[in-house]
Chains A and B, each alone.
Chain A
Amino acid sequence: MNTNMSTATLTSRLGGLLMAPVNLLMRVLDIPLRAVQKAAGIGGMAAVFLAPNMLIFGIFVLLPLVINFVYSMTGGTAFFLSEREFVGAAQYERLFQCANYLDPMSCQEDAFWTAVGNTFWFVVLQVSLMILTALITALILNRDLAARSFWRAVFFFPVLLSPVVVGLIWKWILQRQGLLNFGLYQFGVEPYTWLTDRNWTFVATIGVSLWAHMGFYALILLAGLQAIPKDLYEAAEMDGTKPARVFWRITLPLLMPNLLVVVVLALIRAVQIFDEVYVLTGGGPGTSTLYLTQYIYETGFASALRNPGLAAAASILMGLVLVVLTLVQLGIGQRGEKKGKR
């Protein structure tokens, strides 16, 4: 009894001690906040509390967006806006000046169109493979496996790595004196320059990004699979439904909301691919793995002939694509909510 009482007293004292600075701060803040409330009114206090966050959002998101748009209307290599001349839509015109859009070399800004083409194929292949592998992984992880939690963790761990680390790991594996060649050499296979072969680097960027992000999408799909009531499968079993028909007629339609979210998220992420590829291949060899974000980065900051205006224009165009994809995602989300309510 005594021990209990003393524990309770100790807890309350400790709590009091910990709360002391908070209480002090509240008292100090109380005086100016009362004054603010008097001026703004109770209704206006919501805006006062939101203001710091909105300020940060404004400075770091909205303002750069506007500045970026203004940059896209200016020309020259100068970095400060005040030293740049207004050129109107010239940067956009330059980006779109092409004899044949399917042939980047016929365009004035051939690197941009090469990057667009590379990004397009990267997105198409990476997203398709991503959906396929994430779905297969989720279906396997949803089964009654031994050490299921372990396998789920194994597939999810790469998601926790920073993209630069992912790029470095795979560089160590794929480079000429890397782990892969070492392994192959043990079996008598001649070492190969995986990261300097145009075709292999493209495949490598897709493979590495699959490895790094697949766990995240598999997890979303796994959650969707687990939300499908077991009864439905038992009803199908009683009806003598074959496994393939169960998959196509029951699992897939019921997983569709999750699958759509995964498709859109994977699309948005694939369009923005940059860091791991930049570390792994640097966009090379040549321009074989030059994707849009890297083109923007190099045009704006890294290349000798830097052109911040052109980079800004390209980033605005990429932003528009992302806006469309995000709207699609929002639309899917709202449709899902409506269905859920019904």
Chain B
Amino acid sequence: MGEIKLSDVNKSFGSVHVLKDIDLHIKDGEFVVFVGPSGCGKSTLLRTIAGLEKITGGVIEIDGKRVNEVSAADRGLAMVFQSYALYPHMSVRQNLAFGLENSNMPKNEVAERIAEAARMLEIEPYLERRPGQLSGGQRQRVAIGRAIVRRPTAFLLDEPLSNLDAELRVSTRAELAALHARLGSTMIYVTHDQVEAMTLAHRIVVMRAGKIEQVGTPLDLYNTPANRFVAGFIGAPHMNFLAGEVAELQTGTATLTTSGGHRLLVPFSGHSLSVGDKLTIGIRPQHITLANDPGSLKVKVRLVEALGSETVIHADLNGEKLLAVVPGQKQLSPGDEAYFSVAGAPLHLFDRNGLRVKGS
């Protein structure tokens, strides 16, 4: 079992309120990723679950038991640190055994567990080496191995891939996903990299300034972001935002005008909009297509990034920046004029407070 429930959790460091009214229910076996910009409180939240930080308000429950007063060691969780936190003077084997020896586990069982973890993580050849003699990727595996041997209720991983190079990060990411599938344990993973979050998570928790902005599956967050922050944070490159105004409302559709006077037709079935309302229109760069139609958005190309399989076009629409990612290779140069079409593209509408407009 590895069910974790946070109710109204608050944490302050002196006068600084770093976690605000956190409510979260993590189901057994779930892979949950905390994501957000630096300083949003995601690592602190993980550390409060681990028991390394005391909360100043609220309740943390693991498998239905309140653990606020339970020490980190007795919560049955294992943590993988960003720096790996391997003991540099001990061999890999001693590193793996250290935690088990604390509980006076019989030697043969310790050896058995180490052998099993080493086999699973393919670190058998390095068992007698010290962390200083291992590469970053190998150290990372040892750190995960140290967590695995404890057979914890849940794994807590604090930016475990951030010290690896880009290529290794991609392969280790896939290995982590496979490991989770194999172990079936609850995993809570902290990262500021939204690609890691999208590829690994069952559910993503997006945080900002100590608060949870949205919790949902990766595609939920991508398709229906709850607010402008989540819309901008999830998806790469970031979503485009244009200022707009409601010009007309018909049954099932709304007509919006952009600051440049372009008219956009949006499916809309709610009652929360009125003619004249100011809005922010969100368009994902991948949903923009190039058109020859003078009725589309007329933009001035500022920069073209040719990636081979796709082309990233940075453009200017009446002073507002617009980014488009179009498939294939396009013959465009900075200074060219082009037409961007958003016909049929899912448009995201956000009100003045940045919240998603209901019914859009």
| B-binding residues in A (CB < 8 A) | 229, 231-232, 234-242, 245, 249-250, 253-254, 342
| CB–CB A245/B52 < 8 A | no
- B74 near A240: Cβ-Cβ < 8 Å: yes
Residues in B94-109 with C-beta less than 8 Å from chain A: 98-99, 102-103
Chain B residues whose C-beta falls within 8 Å of the C-beta of A342 in the assembled complex: 132-133
| Interface of A (DSSP majority class) | helix
Contact between A249 and B72, CB atoms less than 8 A apart: no
Is A232 touching B87 in the complex (CB atoms < 8 A)?
yes
Q: Provide the residues of chain A in CB contact with B50, threshold 8 Å.
A: 238
Residues of B within 8 A of A240 (CB): 71-74, 99, 102-103
Residue from B51, B88, B133 whose CB has the most chain A CB atoms within 10 Å: B88
Say yes or no: A231-B102 contact (C-beta < 8 A), given A237-B72, A238-B73, A342-B132.
no
Tell me, rounded to whole Å, the shortest Cβ–Cβ distance linking A334 to chain B.
17
Do A231 and B72 touch across chains, with their CB atoms under 8 A apart?
no
A236 — which chain B residues lie within 8 A by C-beta?
98
Complex formed: what's the CA distance from A229 to B74 in Å?
23
What 3 pairs between A and B have smallest CB-CB spacing?
A240-B73, A239-B99, A231-B85
Residues B73 and A237 in contact, CB atoms below 8 Å apart: yes
CA distance A242 to B103 in the complex (A): 10
Instruction: Evaluate contact between A237 and B52: CB separation under 8 angstroms.
Output: yes
B133 — nearest CB in chain A belongs to which residue? A342
21 A-B residue contacts at CB 8 Å? Answer: A229-B85, A231-B83, A231-B85, A234-B52, A234-B79, A234-B81, A235-B146, A236-B98, A237-B71, A237-B72, A238-B52, A238-B72, A238-B73, A238-B78, A239-B98, A240-B71, A240-B72, A242-B102, A253-B89, A254-B88, A342-B132
> B73 touching A231 by the CB < 8 A rule?
no
CA distance A242 to B74 in the complex (A): 13
CB nearest to A232 among chain B residues: B85
**A249 CB contacts on chain B under 8 angstroms:** 87, 98
The A/B interface has a contact count, at CB < 8 Å, of: 58
Q: Which residues of B contact A254 (CB under 8 A)?
A: 88-89
Chain A residues within 8 Å of B98, by CB: 236, 239, 241, 249
| A229 CA to B131 CA, complexed, in Å | 14
A240 to B71: give the CA distance in the assembly, Å: 9
Instruction: Report Cα–Cα, A237/B70, bound state, in Å.
Output: 12
A239's nearest neighbour on chain B, judged by CB, is B99
Shortest Cβ distance from A231 into B: residue:
B85
Q: Give the distance in Å from the alpha carbon of A242 to the alpha carbon of B87 in the complex.
A: 16
Residue of A whose beta carbon sits closest to that of B73: A240
Residue in chain B with minimal CB distance to A254: B89
| A238 / chain B contacts, CB cutoff of 8 Å | 50-52, 72-73, 77-79, 99
B83: which A residues are within 8 A, CB to CB? 229, 231
Residue contact A250 to B87, C-beta cutoff 8 Å: yes
CA A237 to CA B50, docked complex, whole Å: 10
How far does the alpha carbon of A188 sit from the alpha carbon of B234 in the complex, in Å? 79
Give Cα A245–Cα B133 distance, bound, in whole angstroms: 25
Interface status of B150 (Cβ within 8 A of chain A): yes
A303 to chain B, nearest CB (A): 52
Q: Which residues of chain B have C-beta atoms less than 8 A from A237's C-beta?
A: 52, 71-73
* Cβ–Cβ contact B81 & A231, under 8 A: yes
Interface centre among B77, B82, B99, B133 (most CB of A within 10 A): B99
User: With the chains together, A135 CA to B87 CA distance in Å?
Assistant: 21
B121 to chain A, nearest CB (A): 17
A225 → chain B, closest Cβ, in Å? 15
The smallest C-beta distance from A231 to any residue of chain B, in angstroms, reads: 4
A235→B96 CA distance, assembly (Å): 12
- Nearest CB of A to B13, in Å: 13
> Of A235, A240, A241, which is in contact with the most chain B CB atoms at under 10 Å from its CB?
A235
* Chain A residues with CB below 8 A from B102, complex form: 239-242, 245
Q: How far apart sit A79 and B71, CA to CA, in the bound complex (Å)? A: 74
How far, in whole Å, are A245 and B82 apart by their CA atoms in the complex? Answer: 24
Given contacts A234-B79, A235-B146, A239-B150, 7 further A-B contacts (CB under 8 A): A236-B98, A237-B71, A238-B72, A238-B99, A240-B73, A240-B103, A254-B89
Residues in chain A near residue B78, CB distance under 8 A = 238
Set of chain A residues within 8 Å of B74, measured between Cβ atoms: 240
Give CA–CA (A167, B179) in the complex, Å.
67
Closest-by-CB residue of A relative to B47 is A234
Specify which chain A residues have a CB less than 8 angstroms from the CB of B71 in the assembled complex.
237, 240
The docked-state distance in angstroms from the alpha carbon of A238 to that of B79 is 7
Complex Cα gap A342–B77 (Å)? 33
In the assembled complex, the Cα of A231 lies from the Cα of B73 at a distance in Å of: 15
Given A250-B87, A254-B89, do A239 and B52 touch, yes or no (CB 8 Å)?
no
- Closest B-chain residue to A342, C-beta based? B132
Q: Which of B126-156 contact A (CB under 8 A)?
A: 132-133, 146, 150
**Nearest-CB residue, chain B, relative to A252:** B89
